[in-house]
Every structure is written in C-alpha cells, then in structure tokens.
Amino acid sequence: MPYVTFERGKAAGRATVLAALLFALAAAAAPPDAQHILAASDDVRNPQYPFSITTTLIEYRDGKQTDSTALQVYSKAAENSGQFRSLIRFVAPPRDANKLMLKNGNDLWFYDPTGKSTIRLSPQQRLLGQAANGDVVTVNLAKDYRAKLAGEEDVQDGERQNQHCYKLELAAAAPDVTYDHIEMWIAAATSRPIKARYFSESGRLLKSAYFRHFQDNLGQQRPTEMVIIDGLNPNWVTVMRYSDFVKRDIPDTWLQADYLPRFSPE
C-alpha cells in the first residue's frame, strides 16, 4: 500500500508539475489583463495616499503663450469608490488668487473669497479654458473606465523616443466621467502612461495628451508634465506642469462645500 501510495503520489506530483508548466505557458501566451495595465499606470501617475501638488497650466495658441494659471491641488481617494476627491486652490493669475474649486465626482463647487459665495457648478461648466475641470484633478482611470487591450505598438513618446506600448481602449463605466472613451498607450516595460487620445460620445477627438518628463516624486518615477493638444485645432496647446509633490494628511471634512470658506493652505 505504501508503494501504491508512493506510485500514486509520484503520478500526482508529475501531474502537478505538468499542470504548473501548462499554466505557466498558458499565462505567458495569454494577453495581459487590460484593467491591470491601466491600474498600474494609474499608480505611476498618482500616489495612492493623500497628497498635494502644484499644477501650472501654460496655454499656447498659434505658437504664442496666451494664458497661464497656477493651481494647488489637494487630493485624497474616497474610501468607498477609490476615486480621488480634489480641492483646488487658484494661485495665479492674481485676479483668481485664493479662489477654490472642489471636485468630488459630479459634486463640483466654486468659492470666491471676495464675494464669500459658494456656488454649485454643473459638470459642463468649465473654469480653466482648454483644460476640463476633470483634467486638473487626480483621476484613477481604472475606477471609471473599462479597459480593453487593442494591441501592442511602438509609439513616439513625449521625449520623441520610441516606446513599446500596450494600446488600451477605455470605455466610460461611470456616469460622471469627463470623457466618453479614451485611447491610451502605456509602456509595456514600465507601466508609464505615454500618450492618450480623448473622445466625445459622438466619436469626436477632443484632445490628445503626452505624459513626459518622468522624475522621482513621492517614491517613484512620475510624469511631471502633460502636453495637451486640442483635437480640432492642433495649434492650441496646453502644457500642464506638476511640481511640489507633498504627501499630506487631508481630513475628509476639508472635502465639502461648507469647508471652503474656512480653507487655509497651512
């Protein structure tokens, strides 16, 4: 019986090794999971803990700088949805200094300290020219979009270098997203977001964006610049530059309309 048992055990061991080999081969042959690729790319863009950054938007039309806005963005992920909630303080230009915007999904508020008034905005209202309100806040795309792997491509990145990328097609899975669908190229080796194209529901290209100038910030290499090119007029270009990454405690009570009149950046 022990022999039989041994033989049976040996056979079972062979079967296990074989199964493991087959599984490994199948895993190697199977396409990578698109949602995981997207989530890994989110982790490159966003620290997964509360933080603040300074975002500077420089807008060009026909090669000339036409606008410049600086914002301090405080972001924290919601416990239930995992999506980021953001409080945005306008730093420049001087006329807008210390105005605030709060974005918590579709819950969007604007506060002007001069008039002391807190106004609820609809998602359609834009405050920042070419950049949609959803562009300046921190977004975990994997929470809001369903990703599908469309293939692998070599594309030119923001530094004009070729990168081997997964091309993902993202379809909106949440009702309050800024874009209906997105094409996104993510570096296969590093999970870095390289390039994205944003579309309206009707299929119109709204804008293209390049993520570039990756630098060490809050524990890993993150993009410090996004170059946005208008879908209709490619001579309309916005450079979004990220700096002053700081990990910080952001109480939940900050992220509501009633807190805006009390907000103090310190």
Number of chain positions touching other proteins (CB under 8 A) = 66
Determine, following the binding rule CB under 8 A, whether residue 58 of this chain makes contact with other proteins: yes
Beta-carbon contacts of residue 194 (< 8 Å; ≥ 6 apart): 155, 157, 158, 163, 165, 185, 186, 187, 210, 211
Query: For other proteins, which is the closer residue by CB, 110 or 166?
Result: 110
Query: For other proteins, which is the closer residue by CB, 89 or 167?
Result: 89
**Which of the stretches 5-13, 16-24, 31-39, 248-256 binds other proteins when contact is defined by CB under 8 A?**
248-256
SS3 (DSSP) at 21: helix
**Which of the stretches 26-34, 51-59, 162-170, 215-223 binds other proteins when contact is defined by CB under 8 A?**
51-59
Determine, following the binding rule CB under 8 A, whether residue 95 of this chain makes contact with other proteins: yes
Burial class (CB in 10 A: 0-12, 13-18, 19+), 84: buried
Q: Quick one: which of 1, 115, 202, 232 contacts other proteins (CB under 8 A)?
A: 115
Query: For other proteins, which is the closer residue by CB, 40 or 245?
Result: 245
d(CA 96, CA 52) in angstroms, rounded, equals 19
Positive/negative CA dihedral, 245, 247, 249, 250? positive
CA distances from 107 to 99, 142, 196 (A): 17, 20, 26
Other CB atoms within 10 Å distance of the CB of residue 172:
16
* Contact map string, positions 3 to 42, toward other proteins, x by CB under 8 A: ----------------------------------------
Determine, following the binding rule CB under 8 A, whether residue 181 of this chain makes contact with other proteins: no
Determine, following the binding rule CB under 8 A, whether residue 203 of this chain makes contact with other proteins: no
Give the HSE-up count for residue 213: Cα atoms under 13 Å, Cβ half-sphere: 9
d(CA 60, CA 239) in angstroms, rounded, equals 8
Determine, following the binding rule CB under 8 A, whether residue 120 of this chain makes contact with other proteins: yes
Positive/negative CA dihedral, 168, 162, 223, 137? negative
Q: Quick one: which of 39, 43, 56, 188 contacts other proteins (CB under 8 A)?
A: 56
Determine, following the binding rule CB under 8 A, whether residue 89 of this chain makes contact with other proteins: yes
Query: For other proteins, which is the closer residue by CB, 160 or 189?
Result: 160
Type of residue at 7: E
Strands 64-77 and 162-172: unpaired
Q: Quick one: which of 38, 139, 187, 237 contacts other proteins (CB under 8 A)?
A: 237
Contact 153, 167 (CB under 8 A): yes
Determine, following the binding rule CB under 8 A, whether residue 114 of this chain makes contact with other proteins: yes
Give the HSE-up count for residue 39: Cα atoms under 13 Å, Cβ half-sphere: 9
Determine, following the binding rule CB under 8 A, whether residue 241 of this chain makes contact with other proteins: yes
Minimal distance in Å, beta carbon 31 to other proteins? 25
Q: Which positions lie near other proteins, rule CB under 8 A?
A: 54, 56, 58, 60-61, 63, 66-68, 70, 72, 89, 91-95, 97-98, 104-107, 113-117, 120-127, 129, 156, 158, 160, 176, 208, 210, 212, 225, 227, 229, 234-235, 237, 239, 241, 243-244, 251-254, 256-259, 262, 264-266
